């Protein structure tokens, strides 16, 4: 089967998914419909509905859009069947019931931002950086009953520089994911049946999980080596942001830090100001805090912060 003959339904919601959808559309793949989350209430009083970035792009290029509240809703399932998809492609969406992922002839594959089976879960990019990995990648795999456990079709690796934050890795994997999505569709299009689609068996002994991030697990534990805290900070930058508590019920978000060879001189979590530079004591070395945000204030470089707040701040 030629790629233009394979009817594809695309499922996704955030910006990360748009790149894959755009690549499929602009390279001549036969995308016949898009499934995304319902419009989200925004604004102070939730009076405005905001469409997902995937929906916005789909409407721009004239694709039909389905936005089910419940994936098992009979009306939605009927609408999905009416699209007569041969294949469904999922990028950054929700867990699908069997009724949905098993519907097309060639089933449904997912584009996951990690080298599965490592980093299964909701935040694989963040956790790869937090754990100090030197590489990550993109995996495509067929969906099954469980989360991120289906048989693997393709993998491509992506290097993580020591100074890279999540934004850098996110952007790199977003573009790599689009490329791998197209390559995976090409592989499937050449198969005579679902059973003939080749897949990889990958064993990985020391597996990590990638659970969803909440404010509570973004709190910095200063009783650790500086290198581990450095990775933690860049693994949460710019979103959702690593933070620490300060006197007076204040919080300090830290977006960028730098490793130093300065030995800690105080209790982990205490600060040192020297020559308009801000350092934090850890278990071993002092970590320089480069870009920060005090609660209620703007994000700024540490030297600008010290110029404005040093005399009034209880260090």
DSSP for 179-191, please give it: HHHHHHHHHHHT-
Which pLDDT belongs to residue 213? 96
CATH assignment, 216-312: 3.10.25.10
Instruction: Name the least confident of 98-102, 131-135, 202-206, 291-295.
Output: 202-206
Task: Compute the mean pLDDT over every residue in the chain, rounded to the nearest whole number.
Answer: 92
Q: Scanning the structure block, which residue is given the tokens 């830290």?
A: 254
Q: Kindly list the domain boundaries of the chain, sorted by start residue.
A: 3-210, 216-312
On whether the CB atoms of residues 306 and 272 are closer than 8 A, the answer is no
Q: Could you tell me whether strands 209-210 and 152-159 are parallel, antiparallel, or unpaired per DSSP bridges?
A: unpaired
Tokens found for residue 102: 């098993």
Query: Kind and range of the H or E element at 209?
Result: strand 209-210
Region for 160 from its dihedrals, namely left if φ exceeds 0, alpha if ψ lies in -120 to 50, beta otherwise: beta
CB burial class (10 A; 0-12, 13-18, 19+) of residue 174? buried
Taking residues 183-195, report their average pLDDT. 83
Above 60 in pLDDT, residue 314? Answer: no
Q: How far apart, in whole angstroms, are the C-alpha atoms of residue 185 and residue 109?
A: 9
On whether the CB atoms of residues 11 and 31 are closer than 8 A, the answer is no
Query: Kind and range of the H or E element at 26?
Result: helix 15-26
Q: State pLDDT tens for residues 54-69.
A: 999 999 999 999 999 9
The SS3 assignment for 212 reads coil
Architecture of domain 3-210: 3-Layer(aba) Sandwich (3.40)
Torsion of CA 219, 223, 224, 229, to 10 degrees: 30
- pTM, to two decimals: 0.92
């Amino acid at each position: 089967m030629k790629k233009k003959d394979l009817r594809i339904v695309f499922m996704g919601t955030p910006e990360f998914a748009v790149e894959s959808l755009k690549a499929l559309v602009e390279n001549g793949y036969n995308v016949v419909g898009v499934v995304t989350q319902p419009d989200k209430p925004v604004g102070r009083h939730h009076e405005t509905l905001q469409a997902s970035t995937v929906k916005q792009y789909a409407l721009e290029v004239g694709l039909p859009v389905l936005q089910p509240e419940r994936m098992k809703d009979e009306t939605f399932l009927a609408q999905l069947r009416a699209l007569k998809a041969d294949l469904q492609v999922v990028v950054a969406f929700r867990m699908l019931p069997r009724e949905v992922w098993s519907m097309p002839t060639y089933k449904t594959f997912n584009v996951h931002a990690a080298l599965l089976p490592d980093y299964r879960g909701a935040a694989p990019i963040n956790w790869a950086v937090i754990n100090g990995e030197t590489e990550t990648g993109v995996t495509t795999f067929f969906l099954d009953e469980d989360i991120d456990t289906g048989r693997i079709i393709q993998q491509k690796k992506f290097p993580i520089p020591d100074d890279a934050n999540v934004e850098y890795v996110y952007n790199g994997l977003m573009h790599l994911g689009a490329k791998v999505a197209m390559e995976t569709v090409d592989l499937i299009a050449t198969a005579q049946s679902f059973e003939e689609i080749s897949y990889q068996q990958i064993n990985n002994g020391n597996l990590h999980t990638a659970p969803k991030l909440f404010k509570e697990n973004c709190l910095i534990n200063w009783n650790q080596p500086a290198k581990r805290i450095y990775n933690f900070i860049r693994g949460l930058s710019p979103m959702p942001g690593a933070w620490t508590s300060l006197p007076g019920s204040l919080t300090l978000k830290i977006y960028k830090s730098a490793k130093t060879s300065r030995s800690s001189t105080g209790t982990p979590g205490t600060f040192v100001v020297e020559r308009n530079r801000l350092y934090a004591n850890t278990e071993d070395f002092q970590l320089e805090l480069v870009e920060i945000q005090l609660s209620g204030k703007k994000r700024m470089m540490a030297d600008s912060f010290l110029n404005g707040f040093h005399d009034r701040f209880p260090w």
